[in-house]
A and B are shown apart, each in its own frame.
Chain A
Amino acid sequence: MTTQSTTTTASTPRLVPYDDAVRRYDPVLGIEVHVELGTRTKMFCAAEVSFGADPNTQTTPVSLGLPGALPVVNGTAVEYAIRIGLALNCQIAESCRFARKNYFYPDVPKNFQTSQYDEPIAFDGWLDVELEDGTVHRVEIERAHMEEDAGKNTHVGGSAGRIHGAEYSLVDYNRAGIPLVEIVTRPIEGAGERAPEVARAYVQALRDIFRVLDVSEARMERGNVRADVNLSLRPTPESPLGTRTETKNVNSFRSVERAVRYEVSRQAAILDAGQTVIQETRHFHEEDGSTSPGRVKSDAEDYRYFPEPDLVPVAPSREWVEEIRATLPELPQARRRRLHDEWGFADAEMRDVVNAGALDLIESTVAAGATAAAARKWWMGELARRAKQDEVELAELAITPGQIGELQQLVDAGRINDKIARQVLDGVLAGEGDPEQVVVARGLEIVSDDGPLLAAIDEALAAQPDIVAKVRAGNQGPVGAIIGAVMKTTRGQADAKRVRELVLERIGG
């Protein structure tokens, strides 16, 4: 006798255009984010964790779930979980226990996941999320709890199968037991038509926080951060909550936004047709931004949780919690506010900087000696243009904030001008070295020694005696022609202002 499994086949009516859907329905979000902590070892055993290791080379009897093995909590993982909780303005539990979540699945070696159930380490928090136009939406956090990751299945299909020619799976337990913190929001209401943006901005804000806290590499593309997006619709913000769906494992910011949009359109169509939304988990499809029903398991909800008897309660002392709170780094939003003040950018300028991902770059450039305005000018101007042209992120350009700082110092010192600075950029981007090296190697320095300049001027004056005569007669108009000739001779490296002074001096002399 085995569990019956069925696939939901209820046909979905056509999608309702998004704008139409949100005019008539109020979306309510709920987001669960899993973050893999960047500890050196696993949650419950000392198997090393590193990305890209060969299959099953990072296991111990514990993470393989071998008979007799016992878990021991990684203290650093607990500290990281508390850091996350504090950064999300949560309460930290005085005492909390791990529980066993029992379900059979080949990537779960013990056939139960050690997790926290009704006693999360952190609870009752919030996070203010800033949208691109500066609107702030407060997301309430219900809980953040510790748990362990599962292994990885690779499906091997078709007739090539070795198990009686059938389809089969290959399991790698390197990921099994990696510490996770799961952050669960309360229902996010009031986002209205901007629900997809709020969802995206929330996940992005969490990612930024994980990085600043240094609790995870938080690389979306490696699955360090994974989001499950719950969405329901209701006729009006005053109506009771509708039936929600949970779209699992949405693993990029853009996908989070698309998944919400799709579910809004899909659920609106179902409700329009007078049908009811089925409460289910759904899969997101990267290719077309759609979602489809996951497996419906009859015993899916009966996890038979009970307190993990192999572990003792975690009871972080208040002293420890305060110690951790005191050493929290400045969080992204606070930092943005501080830099905004320090730099004196206009609101719109600041938003553009943030949206372009130039905040860190400008901060480092300022640290390297440039003014905030100059740093912004480079990164949001010339460099943004080049990044766009090459279709890369600003940070991916082959130039560092230190180099931009150095470049700006060369300009400020009058050793090069803005126009030449662009040539220096070319050189740096081409890998010719630091700005100073490029200037020297390419011979771009502004000629400030008057000797060679005077020679060039005398040559130009001798070549155009008619102009000299006109100037002497009091008509300074044509002097530009002389200056132009000098600049041409010196390949633009002369300071035009100085050339003019010297030319007038020479003629007048």
Chain B
Amino acid sequence: MTDLTRLSAARLAETLAAGEASSVEATRAHLDRIAAVEGDVHAFLHVSSEDALATAADVDARRAAGEELHPLAGVPIAVKDVVVTQGMPSTAGSKILEGWIPPYDATLVEKIRAAGLPILGKTNMDEFAMGSSTEHSAYGNSHNPWDLERTPGGSGGGSAAAVAAFEAPLAIGTDTGGSIRQPGAVTGTVGVKPTYGGVSRYGLIAMASSLDQAGPVTRTVLDSALLHELIGGHDPRDSTSIPEPLPALVAAARQGALGDLSGLRVGVVTQLQGDGYQPGVLARFQESLELLTTAGAEVVEVSCPSFESALAAYYLIMPAEASSNLAKFDGMRFGLRVEPEDGPITAERVMAATRGAGFGDEVKRRVILGTYALSAGYYDAYYGSAQKVRTLIQRDFAAAFGQADVLVSPTAPTTAFRLGEKLDDPLAMYLNDVATIPANLAGVPGISVPNGLSDDGLPVGFQILAPAKADDRLYRVGAALEAALESTWGGPLLDRAPELG
């Protein structure tokens, strides 16, 4: 019998629909795989076997009864721990939320449950999604399935590692500055950050409200499109949710896979290559451009000078918003409560002690940085200026999208770095997000598609950016590139990953 864990979500869905396997079998296969490789990978913070199997059994029963089901019904999924799940722990990788069981579901989780996808568990992440390696998780880092000594990227390293290690065919990630795309790039998986407002943020434990966006983490472009269509769309509980319907994403992916990109203009962003990018990363990038040209696309060079200031603006806006969003973690209503070691027990002092004990180093660093940037006398120079840079970046995007239908760059400047390598150098860690951040600041969608291995034998990602609300372009171009690459490789990139366990 086929190994159900090796199938793409689309293929698994067909298998289930054809009655060649049951959802319970598929779910159990993934739970078995989790049991087998978690010791190496540590992608999950919580595995919800019973819940997943119950959902699977229910889907099987409904299918047997002839009920019309969602195309992904019965296909298991992993959910990043920053997304709240009713009755299931949701810690966001933080000690301050240890043991918290949310009394409600995020909108995207409601949709997943309604469609009958068994939730395998909650995936590991940097605490409150602050980091690029999962090393800032309060529960230990995840490992890159390509090389267990290396990070799977972050913050959504758990979701990416789970998918790359065949522990789940689908996963949910969140992307504030690259936390879906960068882990995708370094684990050889596909990750999509939808247009801001394209997927409801209701129930995402917020880091930076104006930047956060949930999206799919999968092994194929088509799988991302399927999952994106499931979780996306208007949500009246999120004021920033886009009221218009999503573009046809699955159709775009299927069309793109046919390989014809004639008439498409691809803009290479001058500022997102060159210094600081590994030679292997740049080499794969050039090869991918050639494949796009072969498929009929026209490649043009576009300049986005304000992108040079994107990282700086990001590291003001993100911590500022985070400092406010994380204020609610104070030990009064839920989660950890810590009393000061000495002195009077007052609410004020318990809050400070709780936050001092419950937050990790990176969270403290960013909350304090953000508090500083917003505090009296600094607002205009820091937060106010950063919001202006945001305007400039939007203008650059608008101009660039006048010249090209999509913009492209390497997703991350390097392949996966070694665990511990950048832990003590926050600035070096932040540089990982240099290519992914502009999309968050402008709200435009982006995808990372695996486009080969660098000289060190580790995966590399190709980033495609599209104008806001034109997420379909990501799928068309992404699927075309994926098809072209796989035909040169003779199969998926992940087939070349080392065996685990």
Decide if A110 touches B328 in the complex (CB within 8 Å).
yes
Quick one: closest A residue to B327, CB to CB? Answer: A111
Report the minimal beta-carbon distance from B332 to chain A, rounded to whole angstroms.
5
Q: C-beta contact mask, B235-265 vs A, less than 8 Å → 1, else 0?
A: 0111110000000000000000000000000
Quick one: closest A residue to B383, CB to CB? Answer: A306
Taken together as a complex, chains A and B put the C-alpha atoms of A110 and B332 apart, in Å, by: 11
Quick one: closest A residue to B104, CB to CB? Answer: A61
**26 cross-chain CB contacts under 8 A:** A3-B348, A61-B103, A66-B84, A67-B84, A67-B92, A67-B328, A68-B83, A68-B204, A69-B203, A72-B236, A72-B237, A72-B238, A102-B374, A104-B351, A111-B328, A111-B330, A163-B345, A169-B347, A304-B324, A304-B371, A306-B320, A306-B321, A306-B374, A310-B209, A310-B239, A311-B239
Of residues 90 through 122 on chain A, the ones whose CB sits less than 8 Å from some CB of chain B are 100, 102, 104, 106, 109-112
Q: How many A-B residue pairs have CB under 8 A?
A: 111
A171 adjacent to chain B (CB < 8 Å)? yes
Decide if B375 touches A100 in the complex (CB within 8 Å).
no
Taken together as a complex, chains A and B put the C-alpha atoms of A69 and B325 apart, in Å, by: 11
Of residues 316 through 350 on chain B, the ones whose CB sits less than 8 Å from some CB of chain A are 320-321, 323-324, 327-330, 332-334, 344-345, 347-349
Report the minimal beta-carbon distance from B205 to chain A, rounded to whole angstroms.
4
> In the assembled complex, which residues on chain A have CB atoms less than 8 Å from the CB atom of B106?
68
B65 adjacent to chain A (CB < 8 Å)? no
A301 adjacent to chain B (CB < 8 Å)? yes
Decide if A66 touches B375 in the complex (CB within 8 Å).
no
Lowest 9 A-B CB distances belong to which pairs? A111-B327, A304-B374, A309-B209, A309-B210, A68-B203, A67-B205, A68-B84, A302-B376, A65-B328
Of residues 367 through 396 on chain B, the ones whose CB sits less than 8 Å from some CB of chain A are 371, 374-376, 379, 383
What would 4 more interface pairs be, CB under 8 Å, given A67-B97, A68-B206, A305-B379? A68-B83, A106-B347, A306-B383, A309-B209
> In the assembled complex, which residues on chain A have CB atoms less than 8 Å from the CB atom of B320?
306
B417 adjacent to chain A (CB < 8 Å)? no
> In the assembled complex, which residues on chain B have CB atoms less than 8 Å from the CB atom of A112?
324, 327
Report the minimal beta-carbon distance from B259 to chain A, rounded to whole angstroms.
40
B240 touches which of A66, A109, A312 (Cβ 8 Å): A312
Quick one: closest A residue to B90, CB to CB? Answer: A67
A66 touches which of B104, B208, B351, B374 (Cβ 8 Å): B104
Q: C-beta contact mask, B127-170 vs A, less than 8 Å → 1, else 0?
A: 00000000000000000000000000000000000000000000
B314 adjacent to chain A (CB < 8 Å)? no
Per the CB 8 Å criterion, the residue count for chain B at the interface is 48
B462 adjacent to chain A (CB < 8 Å)? no
Taken together as a complex, chains A and B put the C-alpha atoms of A422 and B290 apart, in Å, by: 104
> In the assembled complex, which residues on chain B have CB atoms less than 8 Å from the CB atom of A305?
374, 379
| Given known contacts A67-B84, A312-B240, A110 and B97 CB-to-CB distance under 8 angstroms | no
Binding site for A on B (CB under 8 A): 83-84, 90, 92, 97, 100, 102-104, 106, 201-206, 208-210, 236-240, 320-321, 323-324, 327-330, 332-334, 344-345, 347-349, 351-352, 371, 374-376, 379, 383
Report the minimal beta-carbon distance from A379 to chain B, rounded to whole angstroms.
51
Quick one: closest A residue to B339, CB to CB? Answer: A164
> In the assembled complex, which residues on chain A have CB atoms less than 8 Å from the CB atom of B210?
309
A166 adjacent to chain B (CB < 8 Å)? yes
A7 adjacent to chain B (CB < 8 Å)? no
Quick one: closest B residue to A65, CB to CB? Answer: B328
| Given known contacts A68-B84, A304-B371, A311-B239, A110 and B327 CB-to-CB distance under 8 angstroms | yes
Report the minimal beta-carbon distance from A137 to chain B, rounded to whole angstroms.
36
Per the CB 8 Å criterion, the residue count for chain A at the interface is 37
Decide if B345 touches A164 in the complex (CB within 8 Å).
yes
Decide if B347 touches A68 in the complex (CB within 8 Å).
no
> In the assembled complex, which residues on chain B have CB atoms less than 8 Å from the CB atom of A312?
239-240
A481 adjacent to chain B (CB < 8 Å)? no
Taken together as a complex, chains A and B put the C-alpha atoms of A111 and B332 apart, in Å, by: 11
| Given known contacts A67-B92, A71-B239, A306-B320, A1 and B352 CB-to-CB distance under 8 angstroms | yes
Taken together as a complex, chains A and B put the C-alpha atoms of A304 and B345 apart, in Å, by: 26
Report the minimal beta-carbon distance from B145 to chain A, rounded to whole angstroms.
29
Report the minimal beta-carbon distance from B338 to chain A, rounded to whole angstroms.
13
Taken together as a complex, chains A and B put the C-alpha atoms of A304 and B332 apart, in Å, by: 22
> In the assembled complex, which residues on chain A have CB atoms less than 8 Å from the CB atom of B383?
306
> In the assembled complex, which residues on chain B have CB atoms less than 8 Å from the CB atom of A309?
208-210, 240, 321
Taken together as a complex, chains A and B put the C-alpha atoms of A110 and B329 apart, in Å, by: 8
A327 adjacent to chain B (CB < 8 Å)? no
Quick one: closest B residue to A311, CB to CB? Answer: B239
Decide if B237 touches A70 in the complex (CB within 8 Å).
yes
Of residues 70 through 87 on chain A, the ones whose CB sits less than 8 Å from some CB of chain B are 70-73
Quick one: closest A residue to B356, CB to CB? Answer: A1
Report the minimal beta-carbon distance from B431 to chain A, rounded to whole angstroms.
25
Report the minimal beta-carbon distance from A433 to chain B, rounded to whole angstroms.
53
> In the assembled complex, which residues on chain B have CB atoms less than 8 Å from the CB atom of A61?
103-104
Taken together as a complex, chains A and B put the C-alpha atoms of A312 and B348 apart, in Å, by: 32
Q: Which of A66, A67, A304 has the most CB of B within 10 A?
A: A67
Taken together as a complex, chains A and B put the C-alpha atoms of A248 and B260 apart, in Å, by: 70
> In the assembled complex, which residues on chain A have CB atoms less than 8 Å from the CB atom of B238?
70, 72
A64 adjacent to chain B (CB < 8 Å)? yes
A2 adjacent to chain B (CB < 8 Å)? yes
Q: C-beta contact mask, A290-311 vs B, less than 8 Å → 1, else 0?
A: 0000000000011011100111
> In the assembled complex, which residues on chain B have CB atoms less than 8 Å from the CB atom of A311?
239-240
Decide if B328 touches A70 in the complex (CB within 8 Å).
no
Taken together as a complex, chains A and B put the C-alpha atoms of A306 and B204 apart, in Å, by: 21
Decide if B379 touches A306 in the complex (CB within 8 Å).
yes
Decide if B347 touches A73 in the complex (CB within 8 Å).
no
> In the assembled complex, which residues on chain A have CB atoms less than 8 Å from the CB atom of B344?
166
Q: C-beta contact mask, A166-184 vs B, less than 8 Å → 1, else 0?
A: 1001010000000000000
| Given known contacts A67-B102, A312-B240, A2 and B352 CB-to-CB distance under 8 angstroms | yes
